[in-house]
């Protein structure tokens, strides 16, 4: 899974809980076991070190790093057995995942819950290799935080049917029984009075106690031939659970021997005490259990690779389930050498000179679009995403203003496909079940229809011109374009002409109107039904979008624009730079592009224009581009020769004067297709 440069995801405890609930604990553990098996099987790929530990009288604090060629991961974890008396867990953890090529962090995650999951999954991975297949009974000694996860993993994935429970704290066993009774209705739960009683008749013995001492939870005398010991609780110097005599008679398996010799049960044994690392058994290079009567011990201490696997696994799963939050952890810099820009007033970064790697695009009238362009007009008569009615009449107003004939006049081959059909606008209230958005189901239906129509025309080698409708429909059209670009290996670049950023998320939207959230949806934020129309998300990366003409942007939107590193030329930039310089900079990322490998999509909201010249739109904001500026903007887009698809949205004839806005739009669209005011190039 890849992040955009600078994008850091956050997986909170709440999100991890939701993920477990959505996927189901057993299924999640099953996937995690398989991911662990895969990573342990490529053992030599990892740069491994024993963890770094700082000991205090009551506990330990540890850092656990590991890396392969693609990622670096670390976990911070503590172990303070007396913490529950203070009302906090013994074990608390968090961790991060970094890309190895750039070192950029991509995920900061809770790891307290995830540690319990990965520890249980690792126990299962070991027991699959080491315990007798016929194992049905497990003793579970130590009934604290980890115990439910161990129990559920062994029951769900290894067929354990009976659990024998013991803890020196009877209340811990009460809690475990209570929790397991609802989760494991068919499983026999036996409370025992001692560890010895719990071990009797068990096929597998899991010890998961917490005491900073060399304890003897299980003695040699308690062991029976054929038992498998899953010793989880002994995991740092001076903190062990087993009678050392057990190790002498057993076959002992560890995660990473150099670390286990310091921290595991084998700290009691000489340096050359024979152990087998799990990966060797997984790959069939060393034997696991050889006889039914063998006593096997998995001396678990918890190794950084397990957290690496868990971080990557949970990250991918949380992305699928849209449970990640963006984290503003890294500075978003337009010029990576200008850290100081963070301290400048917020408007200044937008006005910075173009980064040095961008070239201003020379004025290229010879690149005017070929007159044989095959255009398909797709009417989308809905205002389902807007706050007021009227944009549904936009397609017909454009037809009345002779859009089709005006383009034919310029030599285009035009097919008007008529209007798409979709649900009517009942103007429903906000719907808490669907992100507190209005008309959610209807908007999804319309966007799906737009997606399919636009994608069909692109597949047929035609240029779709979507006649909206409100701006929520850009989710459908741009998702289709993104899908087409991915299928054909083209680079997508979207120019978004608008007075608004349309970058609210369902959570931040003040109105719940979906025409305020399309950029967020296209950036992967929002309900899955809208973010995944392309079949993947996000449809648009930050390098693929440039917004021009903004002048009404909410604070939350400004934040998202920054964190998503989106290029913005607001009205102040246009005032200061002029439209020509603005467009040169906006189009600079397309300089030197191979036209056969590049697709430029224009999403043109009519409220981009100054209301003086374009009153026929629902969300006018004073101070937009005037006629000449708008025309130059369109001509310079045409000059790229890269235009591949267009949205025209938010034209509202109900608010217009004698269809003048529609006529202006037709005029401007003509400029996109070669109608030029150019008589002589100013550059000679």
| Tokens standing for residue 89 | 């867990």
Using CA atoms, how far residue 677 sits from 378, 411, 632, 641, 648, in Å, is 28, 17, 9, 17, 22
Q: Is the peptide bond before 469 cis (omega within 30 degrees of 0)?
A: yes
Shortest Å distance, C-beta 388 to ligand NAD: 56
Query: Cα-Cα-Cα-Cα dihedral of 413, 415, 416, 419, to 10°?
Result: -140
DSSP 51: P
Name the minimum Å distance from CB 78 to ligand NAD: 9
Work out how close the CB of 166 gets to ligand NAD at its nearest, in angstroms, rounded to a whole number. 6
Alpha-carbon distance 24 to 19, whole Å? 8
E-assigned strand segments in 502-654 = 545-548, 567-569, 598-605, 643-649
Q: Which of 9, 235, 570, 656 is catalytic?
A: 235
What's the DSSP call for residue 552?
B
**Least distance between ligand NAD and beta carbon 198 (Å):** 9
CB 380 within 8 A of CB 443: no
Tokens (6 digits) for 30: 């099953």
Element (H, E) at 146: none
Pick 119 or 276: Cβ nearer ligand NAD:
119
Q: How far is the CB of 489 from ligand NAD (least distance, A)?
A: 44
Kindly state the smallest distance separating residue 26's Cβ from ligand NAD, in Å: 19
Nearer to ligand NAD, 267 or 447 (CB): 267
Residue with smaller CB distance to ligand NAD, 43 or 627: 43
Neighbours of 592 (CB within 10 A): 8
Q: Nearest approach, Cβ of 186 to ligand NAD (angstroms)? A: 24
CB nearer ligand NAD, residue 86 or residue 555: 86
> Residue 515 — left, alpha, or beta (φ > 0 → left; ψ -120 to 50 → alpha)?
alpha
Output the six-digit token pair for 284: 């069939």
User: Is there a contact between 639 and 583 (Cβ–Cβ < 8 Å)?
Assistant: no
What does the block give as tokens for 130? Answer: 């080491």
Comparison of 199 and 378: residue with beta carbon closer to ligand NAD: 199
Asked, as a colleague might, if the bond just before 538 is cis with ω within 30 of 0, I would say yes
Residue 82 or residue 430: which is nearer to ligand NAD going by CB? 82
In the bound state with ligand NAD, the residue whose beta carbon lies nearer, of 171 and 274, is 171
* Radius of gyration for the chain, computed over Cα atoms and rounded to the nearest angstrom: 31
Smallest distance from the beta carbon of 210 to ligand NAD, in angstroms?
Answer: 4
Cβ atoms of 643 and 381 closer than 8 Å:
no
Q: In the bound complex, which residue of the shown chain has the CB atom lying closest to ligand NAD?
A: 144
| 459 part of the active site | no
Measured between alpha carbons, how far apart are the two ends of the chain, in Å? 49
Nearer to ligand NAD, 91 or 157 (CB): 91
Q: Which is nearer to ligand NAD, 79 or 653 (CB)?
A: 79
Give the footprint of ligand NAD on this chain (CB under 6 A).
79, 81, 84, 90-91, 115, 119, 141-146, 166-169, 172, 195, 208-211, 215, 217, 232-233, 235, 300-302
Beta strand ranges found along 527-620 (DSSP E): 545-548, 567-569, 598-605
User: Which two structure tokens, joined as six digits, stand for 442?
Assistant: 């209807």
Minimum Å gap between C-beta 258 and ligand NAD is: 16
Name the E strands within 336-395. Answer: 374-380
Q: Is 441 exposed, middle or buried (0-12, 13-18, 19+ CB in 10 A)?
A: middle
Measured from the CB of residue 650, what is the shortest distance to ligand NAD in angstroms? 55
d(CA 610, CA 572): 14
User: Would you tell me the crossing angle of helices 660-672 and 627-640 to the nearest 10 degrees?
Assistant: 30
Specify the DSSP class assigned to residue 463: E
Distance CA 218, CA 223 (A): 8
Among candidates 455, 449, 441, 493, which has minimal Cα distance to 473? Answer: 449
Q: Which is nearer to ligand NAD, 146 or 504 (CB)?
A: 146
Q: Which residues are catalytic?
A: 235
């Amino acid at each position: 899974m890849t992040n955009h440069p600078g994008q850091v995801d956050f997986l909170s405890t709440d999100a991890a809980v939701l993920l477990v609930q959505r996927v189901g604990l057993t299924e999640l553990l099953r996937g995690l076991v398989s991911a662990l098996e895969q990573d342990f099987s490529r053992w030599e790929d990892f740069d491994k070190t024993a963890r770094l530990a700082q000991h205090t009288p009551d506990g330990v604090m540890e850092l656990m790093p590991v890396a392969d060629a693609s990622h670096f991961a670390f976990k911070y974890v503590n172990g303070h057995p007396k913490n529950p008396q203070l009302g906090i867990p013994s074990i608390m953890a968090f961790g991060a995942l970094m890309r190895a090529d750039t070192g950029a962090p991509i995920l900061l995650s809770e790891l307290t819950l995830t540690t319990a999951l990965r520890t249980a999954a690792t126990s299962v991975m070991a027991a699959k290799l080491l315990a007798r297949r016929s194992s049905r009974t497990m003793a579970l000694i130590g009934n604290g935080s980890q115990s439910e996860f161990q129990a559920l993993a062994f029951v769900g994935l290894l067929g354990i049917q009976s659990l024998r429970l013991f803890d020196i704290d009877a209340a811990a066993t009460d809690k475990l029984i209570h929790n397991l009774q609802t989760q494991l209705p068919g499983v026999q739960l036996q409370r025992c009075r001692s560890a010895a009683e719990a071990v009797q008749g068990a096929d597998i013995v899991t010890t998961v106690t917490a005491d900073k001492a060399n304890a003897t939870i299980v003695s040699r005398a308690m062991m029976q031939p054929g038992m498998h010991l899953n010793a989880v609780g002994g995991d740092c110097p001076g903190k062990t659970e087993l009678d050392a005599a057990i190790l002498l008679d057993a076959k002992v398996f560890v995660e990473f021997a150099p670390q286990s010799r310091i921290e595991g049960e084998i700290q009691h044994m000489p340096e050359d005490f024979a152990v087998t690392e799990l990966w060797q058994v997984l790959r069939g290079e060393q034997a696991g259990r050889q006889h039914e009567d063998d006593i096997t011990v998995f001396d678990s201490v918890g190794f950084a690779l397990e957290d690496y696997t868990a971080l990557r696994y949970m990250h991918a799963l949380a992305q699928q389930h849209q449970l990640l939050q963006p984290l503003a952890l890294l500075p978003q810099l337009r010029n990576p050498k200008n850290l100081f820009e963070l301290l400048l007033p917020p408007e200044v970064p937008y006005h910075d000179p173009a980064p040095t790697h961008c070239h201003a695009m020379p004025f290229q009238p010879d690149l005017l679009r070929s007159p044989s362009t095959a255009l398909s007009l797709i009417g989308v008569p809905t205002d389902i995403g807007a706050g007021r009615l009227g944009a549904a009449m936009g397609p017909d107003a454009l037809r009345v203003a002779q859009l089709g004939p005006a383009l034919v006049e310029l030599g285009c081959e035009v097919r008007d496909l008529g209007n798409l059909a979709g649900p009517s606008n009942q103007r429903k209230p906000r719907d808490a079940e669907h992100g507190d958005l209005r008309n959610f189901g209807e908007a999804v239906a319309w966007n799906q229809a737009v997606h399919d129509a636009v994608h069909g025309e692109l597949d047929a080698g035609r240029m779709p011109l979507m006649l909206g409708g409100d701006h929520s429909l850009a989710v459908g059209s741009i998702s289709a374009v993104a899908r087409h670009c991915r299928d054909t290996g083209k680079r997508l670049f979207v120019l978004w002409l608008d007075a608004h950023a349309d970058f609210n998320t369902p959570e931040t939207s003040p109105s719940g109107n979906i025409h305020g959230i399309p950029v967020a949806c296209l950036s992967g934020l929002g309900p899955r039904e809208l973010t995944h129309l392309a079949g993947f998300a996000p449809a648009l990366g930050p390098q693929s979008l440039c917004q021009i003409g903004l002048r009404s942007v909410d604070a939350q939107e400004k934040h998202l624009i920054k964190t998503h590193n989106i290029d913005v030329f607001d009205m102040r930039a246009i005032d200061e730079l002029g439209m020509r310089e603005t467009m040169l900079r906006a189009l600079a990322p397309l300089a030197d592009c191979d036209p056969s490998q590049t697709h430029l999509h224009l999403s043109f909201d009519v409220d981009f224009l100054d209301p003086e010249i374009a009153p026929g739109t629902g969300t006018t904001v004073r101070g937009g581009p005037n006629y000449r500026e708008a025309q130059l903007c369109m001509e310079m887009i045409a000059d790229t020769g890269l235009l591949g698809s267009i949205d025209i949205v938010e034209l509202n004839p109900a608010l217009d004067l004698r269809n003048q806005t529609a006529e202006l739009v037709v005029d401007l669209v003509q400029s996109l297709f070669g109608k030029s005011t150019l008589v002589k190039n100013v550059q000679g």
